[in-house]
C-alpha cells in the first residue's frame, strides 16, 4: 500500500511539474535560465521550461539607425528625435567652411601631365558589377531602415545574427560606409525600446534595451507584415 501511495504521489508531482512548465509558472525561487541571464535571450525557444518574466514576446518592428541617429527624449516632447554627439560632430565637419589649400604651381603642372598620360592610354580596369539588394530586404529604406518582423526572446540566435550581418553588409555596400556601429530601436505594442552595439559586440544580438519615447510620426508608418525568416 505504501509503495502504491508513493507512486501515485510521485506521478501527481510529475503532472503538476509538466503543467507548470507548459504554463510558464514557477515558484518565486526559480531563476531564469543561464542563456537568458547572460545573453538576454534564450536559444531553446519553445522548449525552454523557464518563465521569462521580462521577455519581449512580440515586437511590431525593429528600426536600424545606422551610425548617426539616436532616438532620445528631451523635456516633455515625446516626439523629439535628436542627433547623437557623433552625428552633431559629423554635421559640424560637413558644414564648416574651410578654404581649400592652394597647391604649388609645379605640383599642378605634374598633375595635369599625369592626367594627359592616363587619357592617352586605354583603360583596362574592370568595371564593378552593380550590387543588388536581396529580395527579402528590397523594401527596406537603408537611409533609415525600418524592418518589420515578429521578434522575441525565442527567436533563434542564428536568425537574428544573419539578419544583422545582412543589414550591415548591404548598408556598407550601398553607402560606401565601412563603419559598423549602428543604433537600433524596437516597438512592443505602444512602448519603444532603444539599444546599441558596435562591430565588436553586435553578434550578441539585441541586448540591454532601455525604454524610450515614441519617435516621430513618420517613423511609425511601417508595414505590419513580419519577416518570414525571423518567425521561428
| Amino acid 174: pLDDT | 74
> Would you say residue 108 has pLDDT above 70?
no
How far apart CA 16 and CA 88 sit, in angstroms, is: 58
Which is higher by pLDDT, 42 or 205? 42
Which is higher by pLDDT, 137 or 198? 137
Instruction: Give the residue carrying C-alpha cell 510620426.
Output: 217
Q: What is the mean pLDDT of residues 211-226?
A: 41
How far apart CA 214 and CA 71 sit, in angstroms, is: 8
| Amino acid 18: pLDDT | 40
Q: Which helix (H) or strand (E) holds 107?
A: helix 105-120
| Amino acid 12: pLDDT | 34
How far apart CA 184 and CA 213 sit, in angstroms, is: 14
Report which listed range, 37-51, 79-93, 108-122, is most confident. Answer: 37-51
Residue spans of beta strands (DSSP E) within 19-141: 61-66
> Would you say residue 38 has pLDDT above 50?
yes
Report which listed range, 78-82, 160-164, 195-199, is most confident. Answer: 160-164
Q: What is the mean pLDDT of residues 68-72?
A: 32
Q: What is the mean pLDDT of residues 162-175?
A: 71
User: Closest Cα to residue 213, out of 33, 12, 73, 104?
Assistant: 73
Mean pLDDT of all residues in the chain? 49
Residue 47: band (very low, low, confident or very high) from pLDDT cuts 50, 70, 90: low
| Amino acid 133: pLDDT | 80
Which is higher by pLDDT, 168 or 204? 168
> Would you say residue 136 has pLDDT above 50?
yes
Q: What is the mean pLDDT of residues 65-85?
A: 38
Domain ranges in the chain? 61-91+131-230
What is the dihedral sign for C-alpha 34, 39, 44, 49? Answer: positive
How far apart CA 15 and CA 219 sit, in angstroms, is: 48
For the entire predicted model, the pTM comes to 0.32
> Would you say residue 181 has pLDDT above 70?
no
Q: What is the mean pLDDT of residues 127-135?
A: 70
Amino acid at each position: 500500500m505504501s509503495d502504491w501511495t508513493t507512486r501515485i504521489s510521485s506521478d501527481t508531482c510529475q503532472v503538476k511539474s509538466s503543467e507548470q512548465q507548459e504554463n510558464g509558472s514557477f515558484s518565486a525561487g526559480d531563476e531564469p535560465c543561464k542563456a537568458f541571464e547572460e545573453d538576454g535571450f534564450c536559444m531553446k525557444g519553445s522548449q525552454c521550461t523557464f518563465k521569462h518574466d521580462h521577455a519581449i514576446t512580440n515586437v511590431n518592428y525593429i528600426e536600424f539607425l545606422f551610425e548617426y541617429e539616436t532616438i532620445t527624449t528631451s523635456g516633455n516632447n515625446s516626439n523629439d528625435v535628436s542627433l547623437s554627439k557623433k552625428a552633431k560632430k559629423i554635421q559640424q565637419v560637413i558644414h564648416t567652411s574651410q578654404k581649400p589649400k592652394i597647391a604649388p604651381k609645379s605640383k599642378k603642372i605634374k598633375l595635369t601631365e599625369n592626367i594627359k598620360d592616363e587619357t592617352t592610354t586605354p583603360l583596362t580596369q574592370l568595371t564593378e558589377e552593380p550590387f543588388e539588394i536581396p529580395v527579402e530586404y528590397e523594401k527596406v529604406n537603408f537611409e533609415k531602415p525600418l524592418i518589420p518582423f515578429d521578434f522575441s526572446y525565442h527567436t533563434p540566435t542564428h536568425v537574428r545574427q544573419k539578419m544583422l550581418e545582412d543589414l550591415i553588409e548591404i548598408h556598407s555596400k550601398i553607402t560606401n560606409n565601412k563603419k559598423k556601429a549602428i543604433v537600433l530601436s524596437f516597438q512592443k505594442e505602444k512602448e519603444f525600446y532603444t539599444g546599441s552595439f558596435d562591430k565588436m559586440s553586435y553578434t550578441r544580438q539585441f541586448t540591454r534595451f532601455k525604454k524610450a519615447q515614441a519617435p516621430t510620426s513618420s517613423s511609425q508608418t511601417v508595414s505590419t507584415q513580419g519577416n518570414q525568416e525571423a518567425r521561428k
